[in-house]
Structure 1
Amino acid sequence: MQDHVAPRPGSVRRWRRRLADERQEAQVYRELAARRTGEEREVLLGLAEAEERHAAHWESLLGEQAGQVGRGQLRMRLLALLARRFGSVFVLALAQRAESRSPYWDDVDATKAMAADERIHEEVVRALAARGRARVSGTFRAAVFGANDGLVSNLALVLGVTGGGVAPRTVLLTGLAGLLAGALSMGAGEFISVRSQRELLAASTPDPRARAVVPYLDVDANELALVYRARGMSEQEAQRRADALLSDPKPAVPARPDAEDHEIVGTGMRAAVSSFAFFACGAFVPVLPFAVGLVEPWAMIVAVALVGLALMLTGAAVGVLSGAPPLSRALRQLAIGAGAAGVTYGLGLLFGSTGG
């Protein structure tokens, strides 16, 4: 604890804000730790203790005025609430972004050690979030792609036939047919894609049973080293591994090296169901105004507005999970969807008027 110093004009308010934020960050990590076990729990508790150490710095500067500190920033309070209720990878991704925005490098009252701590905290949270991203990436990818494709493709289909001047009932039937056809196609395609990828990974994985035949091989270490060299090792490392294996030919079989890769890819059925369900949900959004009986032009206006909002939500979710700015990802998603819908609507107008 450092000695209390006389505050400069305007410093007390900033110190109170810093103290409240540090306390809130510590709470976020403790809430996350409460939903974890083992090593992840210990790491999160270590982060909480570090934030409390930073809070002590601001408490020492405030002295007797530390008791008047209010709550932290709204985003940190929301983050603490999410951590308490969910404790998901999204919370870790948001915490990573919060750590990356540390103001301590430019704060004359923060120590360089505190600023360095925050930079390291970002890397720690990034590593923790990476584990969660790996666990959900297969299903999440299928869900996001499915929802986005459903929103964009069915809005484009609905606007295309609407621009052609067909009756609302025909628009509804066309949209529902597009929903079902697209969802089935997405589900089947995702199942085949994931299963094929997992089969390729399995075919490239060394067979652990090969270790059992090492004592009976009619080879020397040089020939056995070719196996390791074929796997990408240097000649020296391959020779060292071969010598070690021949000297002790029956070591314990390690965990499958492709376990993490398989986890990232996900399972075919889970990806297929996720893709089917999210495509169907996304594809139903542009159909909804027609299903409830709205007529032109309101049905089309409401459909475009709903799809635009949904596209921004999916884009923001991708941004949060990837650690990128959510707003830029949301706008990118919206621009892509608007472009596709605009083209098909224009074609519908063109061919509709031509056909008329």
Structure 2
Amino acid sequence: MSTTTEQRIVVLGAGYAGLTAAKGAGRHHDVTLVAPEQRLLHRIRQHETAAGRGRDWPAIADLARGRRIQHRRARAVELDLDGHKAVLDDGTVLGYDTLVYALGSRTAWHGVPGAAEHAHPVERAAEVRRLIRDADRPGTLAVVGGGATGIELATELAEAHPDWRVRIVAAGQVGGGYSPKGRAHIRKVLDRLGVAVHEDATVTEVTPDGPRTTAGPITADLTLWAASLEPHPLAAEAGLAVDERGRALVDNHLRSLSHPDVHVAGDAAAVTLPGIGTLRMGCATALPMGQYLGKLLDGRTDEPFGYRYVVQCLSLGRRDGLLQLVHPDDSMKPTVLTGTAGRLAKAGIVGFVLGALK
């Protein structure tokens, strides 16, 4: 196991991976945590914020209390990997011995005309909440994306705002990645909440009046974009070795293959494990990566990173949920928990995430 010889550690990003890595390393090292947010974004609960049901999540300063962490409210805009420096948007240049790159992911527009101008990504959930609240009259919401984020957003909004018409638009099948039982329950809840489902409808353009798709136009007063995510581009721009999606290639200790003094965690990392495959983006993988790096940098482990999937879970409004059991490689098992049991299981997992950050 490595020693705890003091070093300057800079962590970029205060999401699930960055914050947990900083807290672990900050037990015996000076850590500079670079992130513009004052509070935890708690990304897996952004659908609640959009629906007006969210609350203020803990301040990063409170979560970092008791550790040797300095929180710099800024963004990293440039990396000098050879010079071991990170340049921030306020002009500060931070030197480091070890860099933890955990800038995560962001909404991917994929070049769809009008999407960035006329659609609202999940990252701007508070803006969506204000637009719904301040609207002159109830209208129509179109949620683009048939995966977990889109499903949670559509069901939460439909339940919280029954006077609004909610539509969900998917290029394929809504909930297509889940088991047949899981998909059937998702569809049942969408029907119960009155959500109109538009499947096999690839969005080709977004206009002020709603998305246009390969299956025809869909009228909407607000278009919400939950289609897919892409890694932050700074890793590739700085010269880290990346895969075809822009995720940094790492070894089994989450060190960059091209720059071993840089550790990468969360959505920014392309982590491939024997028998498991390349881990998907999400809180389920980001939090364990951050916890592992915290222990590694603090000298409490020198074992390689390991991970296996157990479940996937969904919120389906406040009264329903889905817990989908999966194999270690994330492929679906037939077993699901739904209804109150699924909701309580999801709430327990979300509570565990917040508890781990505290």
- Band the TM-score falls in, shorter-chain normalisation: under 0.3
Higher relative contact order (CA 8 A, sep 6+): 1
User: Could you say which structure has the higher strand fraction?
Assistant: 2
**TM-score, L = length of structure 2:** 0.21
User: Could you say which structure has the higher helix fraction?
Assistant: 1
